[in-house]
Every structure is written in C-alpha cells, then in structure tokens.
Structure 1
Amino acid sequence: MNETLTNELVSLAHRLADAARQETLQYFRGGGLETSNKLAEGFDPVTVADRAAERVMRDLIEAERPDDGILGEELGTKASTSGLTWVLDPIDGTRGYISGTPTWGTLIAVHDGARVVMGMIDQPYIGERFLGGFGKAEFSGPHGAGVLKTSEIKDLAKATIFTTFPEVGAPNEGEAFKSVAKHCQLTRYGMDCYSYALLALGHVDLVVEACLAPYDIQGPIGVIEAAGGIVTNWTGGPADQGGQVIAAATPELHAAALVLLSAHV
C-alpha cells in the first residue's frame, strides 16, 4: 500500500475510535442501561451502546470509504469491492462494560483479504489507545504516548499469562489452558481485550483463549504483531478467523506454550 492510503486508513481508524468513545461513554456506569441476551441458554449480553457505537463507525466508513467491506459484531457484514474490510467490535467485553469495569474496549482492524494489516484497541474510560500496523506500534493515554514493545521473557516459569474466562471454552480447552498456566509465574483472568493491550505494552507475556470470533482478535493481532509479538491458533496457524488463539511476547514462549496446547487440540 502507498503512504497516502495507509495514512488515510490510520486517520480514519482514529476517527472511528473517537466516534465510538462518545457513544460508549455516555452509557458507561449510567443508570437504566438497556441490555438484552443473545443466547437462549447462558448469558451473552448486548447493549444499546454496542449497537450505537458500531452504527456510528459504520456510517463513517460508508461515507469516506464506501468500497471497503465491513464485518461488525452487531450489525452484520458488507462485502468489499476494494479488497479491504474493516472489522469492528464496538464493545469487546460487554460483560465487563455492564459490570462497570474499565477492561472492555473498542476493537478496529483492517484486513486485506489475506491478513490483518492494521489493528487498534481503544479503552475509552481510561483514555488509552493502542495502534499497530503500517510501521506504527504506538500507544497514548494518561501517562502520555510511546512505542509499543512486547516483553523479552522467554521462560514460561517467568511469564504472566491471562485469559478472560476460567473455563476458557469447552472442557478440554480449559484443561489446555491449565496445562500452560501451571508452568507460569502468574495467572490472571477477566480482562477481555485489555489483556492483549497489556501484552503489547510488555506487562503480560501470554494470552490463551478459545471460542473467539474474527472481530474479537483481528484488532489485537494488528497491535501485538506490530509490537513484536506473535499471534496464532493453537497449532501455530493463522488466528485471524478466531477460534483457539495464543498471543505470545516472544518466539520462545510461543513455542513452549504450543507444545503444551497441542496435546489438547
């Protein structure tokens, strides 16, 4: 891609995140938030804020890049005629959002049909934003701005590992996570997309999850790869379509974790 196009895509991504912030923050920690359940069994919430944030992002894309495709969690898919698709998760971590925790975020990615070329993780309440792609690996927030760089940890025994749900996914997937976590120094839960941002910042070394959709992981892929990390599925293949995902700070951690996970795939 030429520089003019990449600058245009980065600029639009920032404006998408700004627009989504306005929608999500006006409902966050407020009273009377409208919530419904997507599942007949279990609980997978969606709120008016999810839909409103995705709508404003889609409207901007339609106005400025009408030939691009859109894949959104809440409002479906529009085919691309340009070769580029915007992948949107307006609130990744809606359970956290309705609980008042600041660990949810807006995920934005651009996919060129073969791979993720840019990703963004935005946490509106804290005011943090993480961008990766087109030679950029950068963050901004309350402490200022800087360059993203994953940690240099190579030994599982020194690693911090995260996942969102203790059960991870199916029973065998939970056991797979435990087989890695028991070798790590510290295990933490419940951070949704924020754990991927922390990995790109160098504070977390591994994230292992399952049952992900493309819009759950494509934004983090762009950010983490730009920061020097690795994101694959549990057999080492591409993770951009979701499913079982491992994100690692270093090749050594990635390889060690894959050996343990492969026994459960």
Structure 2
Amino acid sequence: MTHTGTPLAAALPDADRLLDAATAAADAAACVIRPFFRSGVTVDDKSDQSPVTVADRTAERTIRAILAERLPDHAVLGEEFGLERAGSRHCWVIDPIDGTRAFVTGRPTFGTLIALLENGVPVLGIIDQPITGERWIGMRGRPTRYESRLPGTIGTRRCTALKLAELSCTSPEMIADAPTPYWDALRRAARRVTWGGDCYAYGLLALGQVDVIAECTMKIWDWAALVPIIEGAGGRVTDWHGRTLHAQSDGTVLAVGDPAMLAGAVSLLNTGLPAR
C-alpha cells in the first residue's frame, strides 16, 4: 500500500505559469545534457574537489536564461554560478546535474534539480532524468506527479518498522563527514542499504521503492527540489534532528516515505538508540 500524499497547504498562486517556466527550463536543460552523456566529456575539479563539466555549466546557463526571460523579477541561485537578483521573495534554486560523478561515469542516476522558494520555503520542485526520460514534479497544494514511459506510480510506501526499510545513501565517503557517529546504527536497524543514486534515489522514494534516505554535506541546491516532491507523495523531509530544512540548515537530510518512521530514524541518528 502507498501513501499518495494530500497536500494541506494552499495552492501556489499563479501555479501554472510558474510550472510552465520550470518545465521549459527542464526540457531545455535535458537537450543540453544528452549529447554530453557517455561522450568522454572533460571533467574539471572545483575548489572543493567535486567534479564539474561543460554539461553542468551549459545546462545551468540555459536554465537561467529561460527563467530570466519568463520571470525577470525572480532571484536565481545555482550551484555553478551563484546568486542573481537577490532580494526577491521568489528564488529559483538550480543544480544542473545532481550526481556529476554518476554522469561522467555513464550512469543514468543523476538528475537536473529545479526548485522555487517562496520566502525561503520550497514550494515547487522538479527532478528531471534526461536519459531515462523520467520527471518528478512536486508543487504546494498539489499531489506529486511522475511523468515517464517507465513503470512507476507516485506514492510512498507504508513501512512503519525500520527493520523492513530499504535505506539509501549516495556514498560512504559522505557519511565520513557526518555530524554524529550514529549513521551506522540506522544502517543496522534497516533491512538493507544501497549506495548511489544522488537525487534519483529520492525519486525512487516518492515511487515507494526506497523507504529511508539519510545524507549529509548537502547544500540547498541538493535538497530544495526534493522537499515538495517527497511531501507531495506522502513522505517527510527534515534534517537529522527532525527539523524543517532551511537555508542555514546543517547539511543533514533525512527523508522517509512513511512519516511513522521519522521519530525512530531521528533517534538512531542522534543517539544510536531506538525511539522510546
């Protein structure tokens, strides 16, 4: 059985115009990215040693151009080129290729992330996988949508016991920088752990294929688009303390498909012990 999500917040004003802009940007970014996939593209290392390619940079410029044309009064924050038009209550947050390591090694588990914040709160999010043709769209006041030729139905899975849960995390190296030493307690409590996936794993959580994701060192462009998608599918996204994510969050992200698992996962991540 799945949770389909029943958003309680008021619908987003001017929602269709905002969604049209976001989907146009995602369509254009996909056209930019596809020719570079498995093409032997040159990989550069940024100052933090994370990889970047011409596909990342060109896709972000393309997204920015479309948003600037359609919504010129909105701010834009992107991983590669920073913040433009600061001060607007609306800010688009972009990660042109979330999972560049997957992209440069030919794995179709990366995605383009496009989010809209209203007064700092994520109200619209898109995960777009340009190779498989999958797209997840979350928007305040509407259930999450999944657009694809592949099998899949939106709705997180009912899974109240962590011992039955499928746990996912992008990489063991990420956990080496965790703010607490207890991630392994969550791993031991779960049924299984799988590594890899980046934003794609969050899309799978919204489809009821994954139950829990716990990661850290996440920037706002890594998680902003995920919040409306997962919550619109019936799940929850918080930091490791169970708090709402915001621009000054500590970089930890905890996503659960069944909200009943949240307290137990938070307890394990902070104390190493199950919730009482």
TM-score range, shorter chain: over 0.9
Please give the alpha-carbon distance, in whole angstroms, between the structure 1 residues aligned to 2:175 and 2:225: 21
Q: Does 1:226 align with 2:232?
A: yes
Please give the alpha-carbon distance, in whole angstroms, between the structure 2 residues aligned to 1:227 and 1:107: 17
- Contact 2:89 2:120 (C-alpha < 8 Å) held by counterparts: no
Please give the alpha-carbon distance, in whole angstroms, between the structure 1 residues aligned to 2:205 and 2:183: 17
- Contact 2:177 2:217 (C-alpha < 8 Å) held by counterparts: no
1:97 is aligned to 103
Cα drift, residue 136 of structure 1: 3.4
Please give the alpha-carbon distance, in whole angstroms, between the structure 2 residues aligned to 1:215 and 1:176: 25
Please give the alpha-carbon distance, in whole angstroms, between the structure 2 residues aligned to 1:88 and 1:231: 19
Cα drift, residue 212 of structure 1: 0.3
* SS, match of residue 89 in structure 1: strand
1:139 is aligned to 146
1:114–1:39 CA distance, 2 compared to 1 (3 A): closer
1:65 is aligned to 71
1:128 is aligned to 134
The code of the aligned residue for 1:199 comes to L
Please give the alpha-carbon distance, in whole angstroms, between the structure 2 residues aligned to 1:218 and 1:66: 21
Q: Does 1:164 align with 2:173?
A: no
Cα drift, residue 34 of structure 1: 2.2
1:79 is aligned to 85
Cα drift, residue 117 of structure 1: 0.4
- Contact 1:217 1:240 (C-alpha < 8 Å) held by counterparts: no
1:237 is aligned to 243
Alignment root-mean-square deviation, CA? 1.9
Cα drift, residue 171 of structure 1: 5.0
The code of the aligned residue for 2:102 comes to G
1:1-265 equivalent positions in 2, closer than 5 A: 5-31=14-40, 33-39=41-47, 43-80=49-86, 82-134=88-140, 135-143=142-150, 148-170=154-176, 172-173=178-179, 175-241=181-247, 243-263=251-271
The code of the aligned residue for 1:216 comes to D
TM-score normalized with structure 2 length: 0.89
* SS, match of residue 193 in structure 1: helix
Cα drift, residue 140 of structure 1: 1.1
Cα drift, residue 82 of structure 1: 4.3
* SS, match of residue 211 in structure 1: coil
- Contact 1:168 1:174 (C-alpha < 8 Å) held by counterparts: no
Single out whichever of 175-184 and 54-63 deviates more from structure 2: 175-184
* SS, match of residue 70 in structure 1: strand
Q: How many residues align?
A: 260
Spell out, residue by residue over 1:135-188, the C-alpha distance to the aligned partner (whole angstroms, 9 max, x if none). Answer: 1311011237x7521111110000000000113244555842211010111100
Single out whichever of 132-141 and 94-103 deviates more from structure 2: 132-141
* SS, match of residue 241 in structure 2: coil
1:154–1:3 CA distance, 2 compared to 1 (3 A): closer
Please give the alpha-carbon distance, in whole angstroms, between the structure 1 residues aligned to 2:108 and 2:79: 20
Spell out, residue by residue over 1:16-47, the C-alpha distance to the aligned partner (whole angstroms, 9 max, x if none). Answer: 1100001111101013x12110136xx31000
What is the percent sequence identity of the aligned residues?
Answer: 37
1:232–1:35 CA distance, 2 compared to 1 (3 A): same
TM-score normalized with structure 1 length: 0.92
The code of the aligned residue for 2:37 comes to F
